[in-house]
Amino acid sequence: MMKVITYGTYDHLHRGHVRLLERAKALGDYLIVGVTSDDFDKQRGKINVQQPLEERIAAVRATGIADKIIVEEYEGQKIDDIKRYGVDIFTVGSDWVGHFDYLNEYCKVEYLERTCGVSSTEIRSTKKQRCGLVGYTDYMNRVYAECGLVNGLEVVAICTKDRSSLSKNSLSAPLITDNFNELLDAVDLVYIHSHPDCHYEQVKKALEAGKHVMCEAPLAKSAAECDELFSLADERDLVLMDSLRTAYSTAYARMLLLVAGGRIGDVVSVDATCTNLNTNRPPYSLSHETAWSSMAAWGPTALLPIFQILGSSPESVQFSSLCDLKDKAFDNFSRISVEFQGAVGSAKVGAGAKSEGSLVVSGTKGYVYVPAPWWKTDYFEIRYENSSDNRRYFYQLDGEGIRFEWVSFLRMIEAVSEGTDGEEALRREGGIERDITRAICEVIGSFERGDHVRYMEVHK
């Protein structure tokens, strides 16, 4: 029996895919089809895949052409599969000519002409969401560049008070304005990275204008304001998403799953540190209109693993803050102590001091260590009393997680447009759940109100 194997993503299965599968089957007697996993697609840079793995497998199965369907999960698997299944012919589309010649050592390689005039990329790009970016720091340049890699998305406007921070590439956007209302008139969805004091009002105005919103954390400065914004989004069938790109790092997401699965026993503490001397605050920013406090800049990120692992309902939250006592809003360094039943969390944040930016999750059997900068990690370790039991985990992270965050945002918008509840769409895409967003907003607001804060004079 002549066995043939082929591989693909098969996103939005179309007649080109079907024709290729038919021709592959005609090369032999038995066809094995490898469907790439979501993680492997990300590793290969295919970030625009819209259908989950199970839907893509079901679509291939429904053609009735494949005799066996397998999942491709890692680089080099093709050689393993050819050996394991006794494959005689490997085949793939002609756009890969020469790329898989190395497999001739293991079987015959055939490149098949693709069907002209149709592709998954074209299908995904049929309708583009018009996007507007709001912010004034050079981080906007990274966001603009990453958006250009996401199918179905086009940045058509940037709202900023400081054009000098924008790169030549960003300045090529069709509309550059300092008028938020003008931006809203030109877009379908908005990304907000303005000063945290502006988030609540800008998010509310965007939702009232019928726009989907992704906003840098914190969304607001209290749980009540956060609830109000989510209710407004639900009433208007809009997506409101908290932007913390760390949550979309594959390594970080896998770490959470392993912790939840009991790999380190019962968690007793989560300790996160985030510092950066280049945060947007004096002397980089010359006024309170543009300066970010250490807490506003880093608090949401540092609190994310604490609330995701220990829960969003702490028994108490206390702060210690180093600052100029005449200007308490702009802390140089702060520590957040979060107490739960049977566990504690500690977050250290700083824009005026530097520390090891690691994450440690301590359990009754072992602990997780994520090295600096943990918020954009591609690697972590699980360590035990017996070091021979230690395990290391590596996952590629492209674009600091920004591009994956945008893909999830667009998928949520699509799900909501098809009638899915906004909170369910967020849960399905692995986003930051609303109770976490709410808890973060409340903690940041509590700090700024001075609740349970011990202030200490910073050394000058």
293-309 pLDDT, tens digit per residue, is: 899 999 999 999 999 99
Q: What is the DSSP code (8-state) at residue 120?
A: H
For residue 418, the SS3 value is: coil
For residue 422, the SS3 value is: helix
Q: What is the DSSP code (8-state) at residue 209?
A: T
Judge whether 362 and 355 are in contact, CB under 8 Å: no
208-241 pLDDT, tens digit per residue, is: 999 999 999 999 999 999 999 999 999 999 999 9
pLDDT at 430 over 90: no
Domain 248-398+439-457 has what CATH class?
A: alpha beta
Among residues 250, 240, 249, 253, the alpha carbon closest in space to that of 412 is found at: 240
Query: In whole numbers, what is the pLDDT of the chain averaged over residues?
Result: 89
The pair of structure tokens assigned to 47 is: 């970030």
240-290 pLDDT, tens digit per residue, is: 999 999 998 889 999 999 999 999 999 999 999 999 886 655 444 445 556
Tell me, what's the pLDDT at 47?
Answer: 57
Average pLDDT over residues 388-405: 87
pLDDT at 398 over 90: no
pTM confidence score: 0.80
| Amino acid identity, position 48 | N
Judge whether 200 and 220 are in contact, CB under 8 Å: yes
Tell me, what's the pLDDT at 427?
Answer: 80
The ranges of the chain annotated as CATH 3.40.50.620 are 3-122
Judge whether 404 and 248 are in contact, CB under 8 Å: yes
CATH topology of domain 3-122: Rossmann fold (3.40.50)
The ranges of the chain annotated as CATH 3.40.50.720 are 125-246+404-408
Among residues 350, 378, 374, the alpha carbon closest in space to that of 361 is found at: 374
Q: What is the DSSP code (8-state) at residue 113?
A: P
Q: How far apart are CA 298 and CA 193, in angstroms?
A: 14
Judge whether 188 and 211 are in contact, CB under 8 Å: yes
Please report, in angstroms and rounded to a whole number, the separation of the first and last CA atoms in the chain: 80
Q: How far apart are CA 439 and CA 427, in angstroms?
A: 17
Tell me, what's the pLDDT at 121?
Answer: 53
The ranges of the chain annotated as CATH 3.30.360.10 are 248-398+439-457
The CATH superfamily label for domain 125-246+404-408 reads NAD(P)-binding Rossmann-like Domain (3.40.50.720)
Tell me, what's the pLDDT at 303?
Answer: 98
Tell me, what's the pLDDT at 95?
Answer: 84
Partners of residue 344 on adjacent β-strands = 269, 339
